[in-house]
Amino acid sequence: MSTSTSSTSFFTNRLTIFVTVFLIVVTAVGFGIWRWGQSLNYWGTPKALSALLAEDISRPTALGLAPTDFWQTPPAGFMGKSLPYEVRYTVGENADGETLAILQKAATDDGWVADSSCPESLLWCANKQDSYGPTKRLTISLPEDISPFGKNFPIIVSVTYY
């Protein structure tokens, strides 16, 4: 009787150990697959895009501005090719240039450095180099076809990697 009890106990213990190890392996593989898809922008928000979204200049409502349009790089779709990471929004600019001044002040206060080699087609450019990542690029421009809304004309703010 003791032989059958000990063999049953032995198999029960083995089964418990096997199930535990199996669940740990499945969890680790699942986490790895999630991180792989996230880094390739198949699902979730990649760290590089999160870094752009975390910039103060990427949040116009925090600056007291009301964006008329907000866009960020969408997920690529499974096994698709992702677009370059970018956060872009449109805000209204009045004739006095107050919005541009607000954006420039917020950017320089946050560590962005004005780029003197900014093309004339852009209103303002700036770069930001973090110690842990690639250089970020901020551009403020007019749309190609300027169509005023009210007393304001739209300007486009774009934050991307340089």
The helix (H) or strand (E) run that includes residue 109 is helix 98-109
Read off the pTM.
0.72
- Return the beta strands (E) in the chain as ranges: 69-72, 86-93, 113-114, 122-128, 136-141, 153-161
Would you state the pLDDT for residue 151?
A: 59
> Using CA atoms, how far apart are residues 120 and 41, in angstroms rounded to an integer?
33
> Using CA atoms, how far apart are residues 96 and 136, in angstroms rounded to an integer?
28
Dihedrals phi, psi of 57, to nearest 5 degrees: -70, -20
pLDDT per residue rounded down to tens, the chain (162 residues): 455 566 667 667 888 899 999 999 999 999 999 888 887 777 878 888 888 999 999 999 888 888 888 998 888 777 777 778 899 999 887 766 788 899 999 999 999 999 999 998 889 999 999 887 789 999 998 887 665 555 567 888 999 887
Would you state the pLDDT for residue 1?
A: 47
**CB-based contacts of 129, cutoff 8 Å, min separation 6:** 135, 136
**Burial category of 159 from C-beta neighbours within 10 Å (exposed 0-12, middle 13-18, buried 19 and up):** buried
Would you state the pLDDT for residue 110?
A: 92
Task: Judge contact between 139 and 120, C-beta under 8 A.
Answer: no
